[in-house]
Amino acid sequence: MAKVVIVGAGFAGLAAMSTLSDAGVDVTLVDRHNFATFQPLLYQVATAGLNPGDVAFPVRTLLRKRKGVTFRQGILSGIDTAANEIALVDGGRIPYDYLVLAMGATTNFFNVPGAEENCHAIYTLDEALAVRNKVFSLFERAASRGSRDNTLTTVVIGGGATGVEMAGALAELKLRAFRTDYPALDPAQARVILIEAQDRLLGAFSPELSKYASAELKGRGVEVYLNTTVEGVTPEGVQLKDGNFIDSRLVIWSAGVGVAKQFAELGLPQHRNGRFEVGEDLRVKGYDNIFAVGDVAGGILGEGQLLPQLAQPAIQTGSCAAESIKSLLNGGITKNFHYKDKGTMATIGRNAAVAELTGGMKLTGTTAWVAWLALHLMTLLGVRNRLSVLLNWSWHYISWGRGPRVILGG
């Protein structure tokens, strides 16, 4: 039986797995974690809106009803393209006839001095929990010291969808949490500053939606700094290019998406941004039996533009690569990838979101917010997680935001 190895159990890897299961193929799904993470809601874990278990789903549970698929926890460390084997950090080796690379993306700090050392990112569950711990540790410290300094200022760098969602959720959190849990603290002390280098937020959306997002955030107490470049980050705060320094103990970096540096060691062709170079059928250039899909791949959208690093392109590329593998195994040819754009959305907070749908239709306010909630609920893995998220959101809405405000660990 032909062996297919899929590395990465995210949107792309799972879509590939789903298309290949029950197809008479021996599929091995490899991931460094034993769960799949729903990244679009990580910011809600970071701001105590959801529990970590709500956005993570055990891979083995997903595979229970999938015929011909096994799971191997491990970290990809190398590919022996001559022997058709992958190597894992723990020394394991797995042979393949076809390999699908779906390891996703990570944070790109663009070599800004001190950013990697002093900023928090929210790409993994661990990172989201680290932010939650830091937020509440700073609140507790301020409450115990009766702090009147700037240590409660949070800076979010990057005004794309993740930065906007994070800043909006932080603003809501401090307002609600301070009223109920920390009445002695003054919400004005906990400034939330969103920094964007361009002249508008949500650059991937149309300018009117950017304007709406900016106004909504400002109305919720977020200080929006546009046309502002970060020159460096230190343990004490953020140095701006214009000479100003923002005192802050919590800086969140949501300014860039990159590919893990160690993937360069795999020896495959990469674009300048690290994404693997693929042909129209998503095969890595120069290799007939290696596909790259999702965020880690540089699939072409058109006119030299790469596919956006979003859930839909990941799902669609994962399925397309798997269809090609099925076809090749049946003596057929590969399928070229064509992206079906279903639109994009971002939420700002309670009753406020933006959505830009196919055909140019734009939504804002409660309608967009409800659409955002419904879409995320439908896309989540597992009935239990969906119910839990629905319950958390309903509770959140009624109780004005009393989520899991716990500090975990030491």
Ligand X SMILES: Cc1cc2nc3c(=O)[nH]c(=O)nc-3n(C[C@H](O)[C@H](O)[C@H](O)COP(=O)(O)OP(=O)(O)OC[C@H]3O[C@@H](n4cnc5c(N)ncnc54)[C@H](O)[C@@H]3O)c2cc1C
- Site membership for ligand X, residue 295 (CB under 6 A): yes
- 86's tokens: 């992958």
Q: Closest distance between ligand X and the C-beta of residue 319, in Å?
A: 12
- Site membership for ligand X, residue 33 (CB under 6 A): yes
- 347's tokens: 């939420």
Nearest-CB residue for ligand X:
10
- What letter would DSSP give residue 185? S
Residue from 165, 172, 196, 323 carrying the catalytic annotation = 165
Find all residues with CB under 8 Å of 12, minimum gap 6, and list them.
102, 104, 293, 294, 295, 296, 297, 314, 315, 317, 318
Residue (161 or 278) nearer to ligand X, CB: 161
CA distance 226 to 268: 38
State yes or no: is 165 an active-site residue.
yes
Residue (113 or 404) nearer to ligand X, CB: 404
Q: Closest distance between ligand X and the C-beta of residue 321, in Å?
A: 12
Cβ density class 216-225: b for 16+ within 10 Å, e for less: bbeebbbbbb
**Residue indicated by tokens 């140095």:** 239
Cβ density class 64-85: b for 16+ within 10 Å, e for less: eebebbebbbbbbeebebeebb
Binding segment (CB under 6 A) for ligand X, from list 1-9, 174-182, 214-222, 332-340: 1-9
Q: Three-class SS of residue 322?
A: helix
Residue choice 9, 79, 142, 173 for contact with ligand X (CB under 6 A): 9
- Binding mask 299-338 toward ligand X (x if CB under 6 A, else -) reads ----------xxxx-x------------------------
Residue choice 3, 32, 342, 386 for contact with ligand X (CB under 6 A): 32
CA distance 95 to 217: 51
- Binding mask 143-182 toward ligand X (x if CB under 6 A, else -) reads ------------------xx--------------------
Residues annotated as catalytic (active site), given as ranges: 165
Instruction: Catalog residues that contact ligand X under the rule CB under 6 A.
Output: 7-13, 30-33, 36-37, 39-40, 42-43, 75-76, 102-104, 122-123, 161-162, 294-296, 309-312, 314
